[in-house]
Copies of this chain bind each other. A is one copy, B any other.
């Protein structure tokens, strides 16, 4: 999650909503990404989506059965839907997202996917709060 947080700070520096993600397979980071929706002008360019694509490219497999996604903020519906298709082993996220997080809709993850929340939640939440406070000022 520390590396995911570092990715989120890169997004912050580029004036993107600061969310970062990494994918770990067999104790190795195989993909890192941060939100780039503004830079790429593309709503699909969330950190998780970019990380899924990169991890599949690396593994040569669209399924990420042995992989854990670490992401700084609770995934949205789109990203949870993508993780369903990828059938990840585990999704670990930092802070919750009551408004746009997937859990307000229900459990959208694959039945095989374990979910863990609250890792480095305070740091991840503070980075988001700082971003939106800057935007308001």
Contact = CB atoms under 8 A, between A and B. Distances in A.
A56 interface: yes
A83 to B, nearest CB: 9
Interface in A38-72: 38, 41-44, 49, 52-53, 56-57, 60-63
Contact of A52 (B44, B56, B57, B76): B44
A102 to B, nearest CB: 8
A57 B41 contact: yes
Interface string A80-109: 111011100000000000000000011010
A80 B76 CA distance: 11
A51 to B, nearest CB: 10
